[in-house]
Chains A and B, each alone.
Chain A
Amino acid sequence: MTFKHFIKTITFIEILKGMALTLRRMFSRAVTIQYPDERRKIAPGFRGQHALSKRGGKAKCVGCGLCATICPSQCISITREKGQVTKYQIELLRCIYCGFCVEACPYGAISLTGNYEYSAYNKQDLMMTKEKLLSNWDKYMPGTKGEEYYKKFWRPMSEDFGTPPGQAMYGGKR
C-alpha cells in the first residue's frame, strides 16, 4: 500500500467527494414534478387517446376499414348500416398506441390526441365509441390544432421523399 493510497483510505476522500456533490445538488432546483398538481407539457403529436376528426361538424371517417386492417392488435371494429358508419369502436385496453391507424387512414379521419389520463373502473369506459371519439376531437384538437397535427404527423407526405425547404439542420434551418 502506497502512502497516497493509505491517505485515501483513512480520509474517506472519495466518499466525501460524493457527499459534497449530493450536498451541492440539495440547493439546486428540483427536477421532479408534483403530479397531479403539476403536469408536464405534452409534445405536439403525442400518441395518446384517439379522436375521430370532423369537417364541417361531420365525421370524416367513411368506414373503409383500413385502420382496422393495419392495426397490429386488431382493436378497431367498425359496423356500417345504410350508408352510415353506425359503430366505430376502439378497445383502448388492447391498443398499443403505435399510430398505424393514423398512417393507414387515407382520409385523415383518425388522430391520436394528447390525452393520457383516462383510467377507469370498468372495461366499458375504455371502449371508445364513435360519439366519444368525435367529442375527443372537439376537446383535444380545438381550432387549428387538428389541422397542424395532420400537417406534421400524418405521414408520409411528398416532402418526405424529397428535400423540403426549411429542413431542420444543425446550426439553423437550411
Chain B
Amino acid sequence: MIKMQEPEKIFETRELNVNMGPQHPATHGVLRVVLDLDGETIVRLTPYVGYLHRGIEKLGENLSYFQALPLTDRMDYVSAMSNNIGYCVAVEKLYGIEAPPRAKFIRTIVGELSRISNHLLWLATHALDIGAMTVFLYCFREREWILELFEMICGARLTVTYPRVGGVRNDISQEFIDHLVKFLAEFPSRILEYETLIDQNRIWLKRTVGIGVISAEEAINWGMTGPTLRGSGIPYDIRKFMPYDAYDQVEFEVPIGTAGDTYDRYRCRMLELRQSVKIIRQCLEKLPAGPVMADAPKFVLPPKDKMLIITHPVNEIAYFIDEKACKGCGMCLRACPAKAITGEKKKPHKIDQSLCLQCATCFVTCKFKALKIIPGGKGQPEEKLVELSAQPVADEFKKAQEALVAHFDFIKKGPKVPEGEVYVATEVPKGELGFYFVSDGTHKPYRMRVRSPSFIHAGCLERLCKGHLVADVIANIGTIDIVLGECDR
C-alpha cells in the first residue's frame, strides 16, 4: 500500500529575504533595508544605515566652532539653512551671546523658506515614489524659486552657510524682500495645485490612507518628532514650546493629524506649508531695523573696514622691530611665514625687509609691543624706519591695529569658549534637531553630538511596515521624511 505524505511536508514554505537598497531610488539616499517576506507581506524589516557616514561629529571636534559650520550644511542637505540655524543657536547658547533682533527675524524667514523647500522636495519624491509624476515636476518648479532666493542672499543655492554664530553673514537686500513678497503672494495658489492633483486622487488615497498607522503613545515612545509625530495628533513643536530666534514673536498654528497614518502626515506637512507662509509674512512685516551681527567682539569676526588703513595700502607699509622693546622671545620668528625674521634668543630680532611680505603675522604675535607698523615705510632705509617708528601713532591707526590683532586671533586661535555643556534643540523640517556640545574651555568642542531626526525615524521603519505589503515600504520611507546624509552624518 502506498502511504500518502502529508501535503505540508512536501510544499514547505519559507520566508523570502529581499534586499532593498542601498541603490534603490525610493530609499531617499543610501538606506538599505532587508525585508523578510511571507508572500507579499512584510514579516521583518531591518534598516541598515551608515553608507553615508562621514564622521561629521568627529570632524566637528577637530575644527573650531566657526569652521565647523559648513559641516552642518552637509547633514540634511535638503534643508541646509535650518541645520545651520540649529548649529548657530546651540553655539550661541554655549558662548552666552544672543543674535540681534534683525538677525533673528532674518533667520526665521530663511528657516521657514528652508522648511518650505524641504517639504516641497519631500512631497515631490513621496509622490513620485507612489506614482504621481506631475506633482514632482510642479514641486521642483517652486523649489527652484526658493533656491534662487537663497542664491540672492548668500550666493549659494543648496549648501548655504548663511547664518553665523551671533547673527547672519550679510544683511538682506531690498531686491530679496521684493522677490520674497512676490513668492509669498503666489505660493498659496501653487499649494492648491498640488492638492488638486493628489489630495482626493483615489490612487493616492489607496496608497496612503491606513498605511503606517502609529498611535500617539507609540509615536512618542519611538522618539518621533516633527510632522511625523504630529500626524499622530501630538501638537509638539519646538518652535512653540521652546521658541528660539523670532518664533515667540509670530503667530502660527501647529497642524496635527488624527489617524496617525501616511495620509495624515501628508496633510500635516501641507498645512505646515501654509503656516510657513504665514510666519514669513509676519516676520517681513515686523522685520526691525538694526544690526545683523551681535556686538560680542570676542566671539564674532571684527568688522573688516576698521583695518582697511593697514590692510589696503599694504604695499606702502613696513614692519619694523623696535630694538629697545624687543625681548628676543622668538615668537615672531617662529610665526613669520616668510622666514624674514632673524635673531638670537634674548637679543633684539630683526626683519629682513627684502624678504618681508607685509603680512602682519609678526605684529599680532608680539606680546611686548616691540613690533611697529610703519605707514609709508616700505623701501625706506633702516635709519628712516627708526625715525618713523618713534613718531606717535594716530588714534585711528591704533584702532585698526587692535582690529587686526582681533582678526588674526579669531582666525588662528578661535574664540575661547566657557567650559560646560549645552544641548539645544531646534525644529528643523524633519523634526527635532539637537546639538550637544561639551566644551573643555578651548576653541574646539571636546565632544559634538547631533541628535538627528532622520536617524530616529529610520529606526521606526520596521514598526510602520510590519504587516503591510512590500509596495507600502516605499510609502512608509517617504512618510517619515528621512535624508540619509543627516541620518548617517
Binding site for B on A (CB under 8 A): 9, 14-15, 17-18, 21-22, 31, 42-47, 58, 60, 62-66, 69-70, 72, 78, 80, 82-85, 96-100, 103-104, 106-108, 112, 152-164, 167-170, 172-174
B208 smallest CB distance to A (angstroms): 14
The residues of B that contact A155 with a CB separation of less than 8 Å are: 169-170, 304
Whether the pair A70, B411 counts as a contact (CB closer than 8 A) is yes
A161 contacts which of B74, B284, B295 (Cβ < 8 Å)? B295
Closest B residue to A172 using CB positions: B174
What residues of chain B lie closer than 8 Å to A156, measured between beta carbons? 169-170, 293, 300-304
B411 touches A66 (CB 8 A): yes
User: Of A14, A45, A69, A107, which one neighbours B201 at CB under 8 angstroms?
Assistant: A14
Instruction: Judge whether A161 and B412 touch: CB under 8 Å.
Output: no
B206 to chain A, nearest CB (A): 12
Point out the residues of chain A lying under 8 angstroms from B176, CB to CB: 168
* B305, A170: Cβ atoms closer than 8 Å: no
In the complex, B128 has a CB within 8 A of chain A: no
**Does B359 sit at the interface, judged by CB under 8 A?**
yes
Report B-chain residues with C-beta under 8 Å of the C-beta of A42.
151
Q: A100-B67, A168-B173 are in contact. Are A63 and B359 (CB under 8 A)?
A: yes
CA distance A161 to B155 in the complex (A): 21
A contact residues around B161 at 8 Å (CB): 98-100
In the complex, B292 has a CB within 8 A of chain A = yes
- State the CA gap A135–B151 with chains docked (Å): 25
Q: Which residues of B contact A103 (CB under 8 A)?
A: 169, 301
- A63 CA / B355 CA spacing, docked (Å): 12
Extra contacts, 12 of them, besides A156-B301, A160-B167 (Cβ < 8 A), are: A22-B134, A60-B314, A70-B411, A72-B70, A72-B71, A83-B357, A99-B155, A100-B66, A100-B161, A156-B170, A158-B303, A168-B173
18 A–B pairs (Cβ distance < 8 Å), ordered by A: A18-B134, A18-B196, A18-B198, A46-B156, A62-B358, A63-B337, A70-B67, A72-B63, A83-B357, A100-B66, A100-B67, A100-B70, A153-B170, A155-B304, A156-B304, A157-B305, A160-B167, A169-B177
Which of the residues B174, B200, B311, B408 comes within 8 Å of A168, measured between beta carbons? B174
> Which of chain B's residues have a CB closer than 8 A to the CB of A9?
202
Cβ contact within 8 Å between B306 and A158: yes
Assess the A107–B311 pair: CB atoms within 8 A. yes
B residues 67-84 in Cβ contact with A at 8 Å = 67-71, 74
B307 at the A/B interface (Cβ < 8 Å)?
Answer: yes
Q: Contact between B201 and A62 (Cβ–Cβ < 8 Å)?
A: no
Question: B39 on the interface (CB 8 Å rule)?
Answer: no
- The interface on chain B, measured as residues whose beta carbon lies within 8 A of the other chain's beta carbons, has a size of 74
The 10 closest A-B pairs by CB, nearest first: A64-B359, A14-B200, A45-B155, A98-B70, A168-B174, A47-B155, A158-B303, A170-B284, A83-B355, A160-B293
B291 adjacent to chain A (CB < 8 Å): yes
A146–B70 Cα distance when bound, in Å, is 25
For B287, the chain A residues whose CB sits under 8 A away are: 169-170
State A32–B212 Cα separation when bound (angstroms): 36
Nearest Cβ distance between residue A28 and chain B, in whole angstroms? 11
Q: Which B residues contact A (CB, under 8 angstroms)?
A: 63, 66-71, 74, 134, 141, 144, 148, 151-152, 154-156, 159, 161, 167, 169-174, 176-177, 181, 193, 196-202, 284-285, 287, 289-293, 295, 300-307, 311-312, 314-315, 337-338, 340, 354-361, 404, 407-408, 411-412
Which residues from chain A contact B355 at a C-beta distance below 8 Å? 82-83
Contacts of A163 in B (CB 8 A): 289-291
Residue from A17, A45, A107, A173 within 8 A of B196 (CB atoms): A17
Complex contacts, A72 vs chain B, CB 8 Å:
63, 67-68, 70-71
In the complex, chain B residues whose CB is within 8 Å of the CB of A107: 311-312, 314
Asked if B411 and A104 make an inter-chain contact with CB atoms under 8 angstroms apart, the answer reads yes
Partner of A157, one of B141, B303, B412: B303
A41 to B295, CA, bound (A): 36
Q: Which residues of A contact B302 (CB under 8 A)?
A: 156
Given A69-B411, A97-B159, answer yes or no on A18-B201 (Cβ-Cβ < 8 Å). Answer: yes
Whether A64 touches B337, Cβ cut-off 8 Å, given contacts A21-B196, A70-B66, A83-B354, is yes
Cα–Cα, bound, A154→B301 (Å): 12
**When chains A and B are docked, how far (Å) is the Cα of A57 from the Cα of B478?**
55
Which chain B residues lie closer than 8 Å to A45 at the CB level?
154-155
Instruction: Give chain B residues whose Cβ lies under 8 Å from the Cβ of A64.
Output: 337, 357, 359-361
Determine if A15 and B141 form an interchain contact, defined as CB atoms under 8 angstroms apart. Answer: no
List residues of chain B with CB within 8 A of the CB of A63.
337-338, 357, 359
**Are B359 and A14 in contact, with the CB atoms below 8 A?**
no
- Inter-chain contacts of B70 with A (CB < 8 A): 72, 96, 98, 100
Q: Are A168 and B303 in contact (CB under 8 A)?
A: no
Question: Distance in Å from the Cβ of B91 to the closest Cβ of chain A?
Answer: 15
Q: Among B199, B305, B311, B411, which residue has the most Cβ atoms of chain A within 10 A?
A: B411
User: What's the least CB distance linking B200 to chain A, in Å?
Assistant: 4
B104 to chain A, nearest CB (A): 14
Quick check: B173 and A46 within 8 Å, CB to CB? no
Kindly state the separation between the CA atoms of A18 and B199 in the bound complex, as whole angstroms. Answer: 10
Contact partner of A46 (CB less than 8 A), chosen from B155, B285, B315, is B155
A69 proximity list for chain B (CB < 8 A): 411-412
A31 and B167 in contact (CB under 8 A), knowing A18-B197, A21-B197, A156-B301?
no
A168-B172, A170-B285 are known contacts. Are A157 and B357 too (CB-CB below 8 A)? no
Partner of A15, one of B174, B202, B338: B202
Q: Chain A CB within 10 Å — which of B141, B359, B404 has the most?
A: B359
Nearest neighbor of A162 in chain B, beta-carbon distance: B291
